Amino acid sequence: MKPQASTLNDDFDNPLITIEGEAEAHEDDLWFLPGPLEEEPDDLPPGPRAEPPETAVVNDWAKAEGLHAARLARVAGRLGALDDRLQRGPEGWRHRLALIEAADLSWFAGDRVSSDRLALWVSMRLSGAQDDPNALARVGWAARRLIGGPGPEADLAAFLDRRDPETIEDSAERLQDRAGGWLDVMAAAAELHPVTRACMGFHLWSLAGLGHHGDQIEAAVTASRIAASDGSGAIFAPLAMGGAGGLRASSSPAERLARWLDGMNSAILTAMRHLDEIEAWGSRAEETTSQLSGRTPMALCSALTEWPLVSAPMAETLTGASRTAVQRNLAWMGERGLIREVTGQGRFRMWRVAF
């Protein structure tokens, strides 16, 4: 009987080579096994993105400042000239510019409070039936912060005159924490020019969680105070006079800073022209009223210099004179072309200087 050939592998040194090779060859045919993990589709919803570090944000604005160094120097020079002009001028000039700037900012933010309504509200807390009291309160706050007081970087929550409600939830982020985060970024940018820092702070306002219904006015007023923080005459840097194009957002920090500088340059030139006009009017009014006796004419000239629009009740309160003396002197100044009446009605009349 012929012996059958053995089917076992005779290579006793490597007995599993054939078996392992066959396993590898047939592994691709096992269709029921899951594929590699890296080939699995990612069906999970996207999670929160990591916030960029503060230094990265500041570096972007530092590069933008370097790109516009010449334009920044020109705007800073004009802001310095305005600061010197206001430092040498009467106190009423700063007050007048602050009221005009606050009224212009209200139009940018959509509140649309005119100079006469703002003057009545700030001086006597008077408002009409058609006026929005919340809008008047916001613009009145802007006027007070532009006229004077501590700056925003000392205590931002106090500057904004905002506090967390007493019933705030424990999980909610507090105003002090949001303000602290914004101030930390501003402190990290201490080496930048105040004008650049102001622009950066304005555009980071909403990202810091500081925005609410009046966030545009609050952000603009805060930025205007920071831009003029190195001065002593100009408490704020004009941003909205002559148009608020510099406050509109663009894509990159470089484009935003360029728009900001152009808008500030236009606003400063508008403010300087206004000061030229009011200074020339003051000289003319002093010469014309020198023939009158009493303190009422000079007090009226100071009030008209300080306020863009003046009513008889306002003038009575500001000068301390009687209503009869105020109305008589206003009529006399109107006849000589120093002031003009702007309402065109018999009651609740308003006067402004005639340039």
Residue closest to 119 by CA, chosen among 289, 337, 348, 275:
348
Q: What is the DSSP letter of 343?
A: S
Per-residue pLDDT of the chain in tens (355 residues, 90 and over written 9): 455 555 444 544 554 445 455 555 555 555 555 555 555 555 556 655 555 566 689 999 999 999 999 999 999 999 999 999 999 999 899 999 999 999 999 998 888 898 888 988 888 787 776 788 888 989 999 999 999 999 999 899 899 988 765 555 554 567 888 888 899 999 999 999 999 999 999 999 988 888 765 578 999 999 999 999 998 899 999 999 978 889 988 789 999 999 999 999 999 999 999 999 999 999 999 999 998 888 999 999 999 999 999 999 899 999 999 999 999 999 999 999 999 998 877 677 889 999 8
**Taking the alpha carbons of 150, 153, 155, 157 in that order, is the dihedral positive or negative?**
positive
Q: CA angle 167-170-175, nearest 5°?
A: 75
Beta bridge partners of 341: 351
Beta bridge partners of 130: none
> In angstroms, rounded to a whole number, what is the distance separating the alpha carbons of residues 183 and 222?
12
> In angstroms, rounded to a whole number, what is the distance separating the alpha carbons of residues 99 and 145?
10
